[in-house]
């Protein structure tokens, strides 16, 4: 099997669907909220909203405009997801652990990576800890850190800033089309992981990933796609 080397100064990981699988909890939470708010097909809503902030999707689908109530409902939704038992995806703990162990004396120190998630600052640490995925030393970028969520570039621009690296020298690793679009809009390289979305759907989307690890023509953003994060490794 051929391999491709991607040289960057920082890695910006998505969380749900990239490092951890919270699908059972998310589906149950949307089933509950669909019943509470008479929304209809909860599975379709779960897929349509994947990768976006609950702050935005609960406003849009549930029509919640009162700020205090919205925050309470976000907490209720995320508690339901935690109860569903998020778990690390195959290879995620190993990859993140290796990135975390980059020697501090090396130019690519342990601070040159973070996790950029659409989840809240309450849910994200709990989900990662429950899944056994190491937390970045610089902390997380969560929905609370930005005023606009994915597919807007703000989350990944914040992640690059946290790492003190030019966004164009970062690799964004994502499973959601909204997240891939956010990474591209930030000017970063993007790598799609086909966990929550089929390869064919990602390839045909306006996220514009390039199939089979091949580089796009010179002077055009280079993107990559893999079946699962466990196929990746890092070197320094």
- For the annotated catalytic residues, the residue numbers are 14, 16
Q: Give one DSSP letter per residue of the chain, joined into a string.
A: --------SEEEE--BTTTEE-HHHHHHHHHHHHHHHT-S-HHHHHHHHTTS-HHHHHHHHH----HHHHHHHHHHHHHHHHHT--EEPTTHHHHHHHHHTS-TTSSS-TTSEEEB-SS-TTHHHHHHHHHTPPPPTT--B-GGG-SS-TTSSHHHHHHHHHHT--GGGEEEEESSHHHHHHHHHTT-EEEEETTSS-HHHHHHSTT---GGGPPPPTTS--EEEES-GGG-----
């Amino acid at each position: 099997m051929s391999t491709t080397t991607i040289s960057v100064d920082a890695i910006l990981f998505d969380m749900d669907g990239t490092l951890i699988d919270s699908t059972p909890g998310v589906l149950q939470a949307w089933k509950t909220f669909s019943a509470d708010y008479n929304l209809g097909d909860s599975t379709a809503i779960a897929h349509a909203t994947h990768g976006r902030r609950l702050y935005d999707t609960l406003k849009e689908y549930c029509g919640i405009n009162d700020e205090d109530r919205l925050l309470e409902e976000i907490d209720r939704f995320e508690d339901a997801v935690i109860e569903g038992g998020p778990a690390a995806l195959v290879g995620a703990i190993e990859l993140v652990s290796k990135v975390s162990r980059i020697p501090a004396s090396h130019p690519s120190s342990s601070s040159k990576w973070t996790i950029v998630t659409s989840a809240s600052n309450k849910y994200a640490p709990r989900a990662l800890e429950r899944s056994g995925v190491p937390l970045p030393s610089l902390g997380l970028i969560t929905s609370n850190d930005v005023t606009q969520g994915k597919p807007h570039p703000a989350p990944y621009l914040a992640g690059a800033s946290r790492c003190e690296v030019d966004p164009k020298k970062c690799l964004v690793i994502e499973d959601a089309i909204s997240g891939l679009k956010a990474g591209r809009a930030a000017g970063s390289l993007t790598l799609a992981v086909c966990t929550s979305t089929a390869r064919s759907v990602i390839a045909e989307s306006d996220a514009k990933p390039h199939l089979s690890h091949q580089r796009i023509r010179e002077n055009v953003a280079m993107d990559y796609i893999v079946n699962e994060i466990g196929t990746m490794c890092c070197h320094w």
